[in-house]
Amino acid sequence: MAKRRYPIFRWLWSVFWKLALLLVLLLILFRFVPPPTTAFMLQSDAPVTQSWVDLDELPDYVPLAFVASEDQRFPLHYGVDFTAISNALHDYGDGEQLRGASTITQQTAKNLFLWPGRSLIRKGLEASLAMSLELLWGKHRILEIYLNVAEFGPGIYGVEAASQHYFNRSARALTPRQAAQLAVLLPNPRQRNPNRLSYQLSQRVSWIERQMRQLGPQHLAAILE
């Protein structure tokens, strides 16, 4: 019986390495070419709208708004922020609600290749992919793709499509306030609209703006060069 299993194991091992090689080749390709679609776009239940915009064409405060809101330690970690995870677990142990510690890199990996959910398998794949993105892409490319593939509403992907949809202007012309309003849509873009925010979310927008001023343009200067 054991001998019969060996060919199956060899076949599974061969499939694993072929898929791993294909993934590496895709990551190398996407280092230079915009991804034509993502796993989340393919799973979308609404018509997909997306328009690519290079990071260098955006005002510096646009990426800063998302970093201030989602991952202030983005310039410092290597895909997975173990400090943020430790702090979240510590606060949870003190009786606070368990909060997510997913980095921008992890969110990019999830949006590109994975599926919604909170299973340990998905989180493990997400963390592994995130560290691979840091190695193969670097911070500039990660931030660029993140801003172009994040979901901002049903079928609305990327900051350019979101800016056109909600503000009738290009993301290149966003104000700092509007950038913060788009950032506050995450991580629940289907339940939020930047033009109809609740009082709590409006306060969150003001908080993001304060964080942007506190971090300052130097926070992402090395990444945006």
% the chain with pLDDT above 70: 87
- What is the number of other CB atoms lying within 10 angstroms of the CB of residue 214? 10
Q: How far apart are CA 31 and CA 52, in angstroms?
A: 14
Q: How far apart are CA 199 and CA 196, in angstroms?
A: 10
Structure tokens at 93: 């142990």
Write down the pLDDT at residue 4.
54
Write down the pLDDT at residue 5.
57
Reported pTM: 0.88
* Number of helices followed by number of strands (H, E) in the chain: 11, 3
| Regions of the chain where pLDDT drops below 50 | 1-2, 90-92, 94, 96-99
Which domains, from first to last, does the chain contain? 39-224 (1.10.3810.10)
Q: Phi and psi of 52, rounded to 5°?
A: -75, 140
Write down the pLDDT at residue 9.
72
Q: How far apart are CA 120 and CA 124, in angstroms?
A: 6
Q: How far apart are CA 180 and CA 69, in angstroms?
A: 8
Write down the pLDDT at residue 16.
64
